[in-house]
Amino acid sequence: MSLITVGTMAFDAIETPFGKVDKIVGGSATYVAYAASNFVKDVKQISIIGYDFPIEELNELKSRGVKIDGVEMIKDKKSFFWSGKYHTDMNTRDTLITDLNVLADFNPIVPDTYQDAEFLMLGNLMPKLQLSVINQMKVRPKLIVMDTMNFWMDIALDDLKEVLTKVDVLLVNDGEARQLSNEFSLVKAAKKIMEMGPKFLIIKKGEHGALLFHENHVFYAPALPLEEVFDPTGAGDTFAGGFIGHLAKTKDISFENMKTAIIVGSAMASYCVEKFGPERLKEITKEDIETRIGEFVELVSFDIDLV
């Protein structure tokens, strides 16, 4: 089952209470691809990179079954660059720099070889570009999942709202859900956001897990309590990659299966935060993933004997 992933492939500079890196590979589509490639062997990447993006990283992705025909390389420009600094609690961060570089003139093209994909993951990117990818699909994918962030709510809200009318699942964090809906209560926020288009809404709450809303149903998945969170960058994208990867692998887009997909996404994200950048995602094995999913099951399973 094939899956298209769209988003940034970037360099990041990250500062956390545990350390600092000036230049590490990142980007929304990079994290999504690393996570999803554990579940789907045909991940079709759409992105843009500059002359400086490491060839070894592209080879690493290719070795995991990620197709890069849709990754455009611009010879005389630098890759997208983002820099962020985390607060002590690691749940909040400040964006220090967003240098669009190659992203400024990105015009994503869906290659013909990608047209058969049944799953589409719109990673965090300019909403206009997310829309352009949807419009280029000759057959509407079975499931379109969209990620976004407050940055686009601040500067491209109308475009973002247009994309919302065309997607099935939206992923945001709690702050973004409140910003988008103008509601403090997440239940009210979810209702308002689902009226904007998506039938399913996932609200991520960092170390406090994630909520899945659909019609009048809500499901909660915790985050695994970890002794050390080293760098949360990319956790959201990794969650998205695990979530859609599981759905694409099982070809089942029911609410029930989305509950499992959220646990899979949470397990992947819990690995991502253990090291800077996507490093930890490159080390883990199928067995590691299964073990961690088992830890989630253990975390929430209990019997109640009411007399």
| Residues binding ligand AMP: number (CB under 6 A) | 17
Work out whether 27 is an interface residue with ligand AMP (CB under 6 A): yes
238 close to 282: Cβ distance less than 8 angstroms: no
Of 50, 108, 141, 236, the one binding ligand AMP (CB under 6 A) is 236
Distances (CA, A) of 179 to 10, 28, 149, 301: 26, 21, 10, 34
Of 16, 233, 266, 270, the one binding ligand AMP (CB under 6 A) is 233
Chain residues 138-197 in contact with ligand AMP, contact rule CB under 6 A: 149, 151
CA–CA dist 184, 191 (Å, integer): 12
Minimum CB distance to ligand AMP smaller for 31 or for 200:
31
CA–CA dist 262, 247 (Å, integer): 10
Q: Give the helix ranges, DSSP H, for the chain.
A: 28-36, 55-63, 127-136, 150-155, 157-164, 174-181, 186-195, 235-250, 255-272, 279-283, 286-300
Minimum CB distance to ligand AMP smaller for 50 or for 234:
234
Chain residues 98-117 in contact with ligand AMP, contact rule CB under 6 A: 98
- Going 200 to 206 to 236 to 300, the CA torsion angle's sign is negative
Minimum CB distance to ligand AMP smaller for 200 or for 276:
276
Minimum CB distance to ligand AMP smaller for 26 or for 265:
26
Minimum CB distance to ligand AMP smaller for 7 or for 198:
7
- Going 203 to 209 to 215 to 216, the CA torsion angle's sign is negative
String marking each residue 7-26 x if it binds ligand AMP according to CB under 6 A: -x-x-x-------------x
Count how many residues are written for the chain: 307
- Provide the minimum distance between the beta carbon of 150 and ligand AMP in the complex, in angstroms, as a whole number: 9
Positions in the binding site for ligand AMP (CB under 6 A): 8, 10, 12, 26-28, 82, 98, 124-125, 149, 151, 233-237
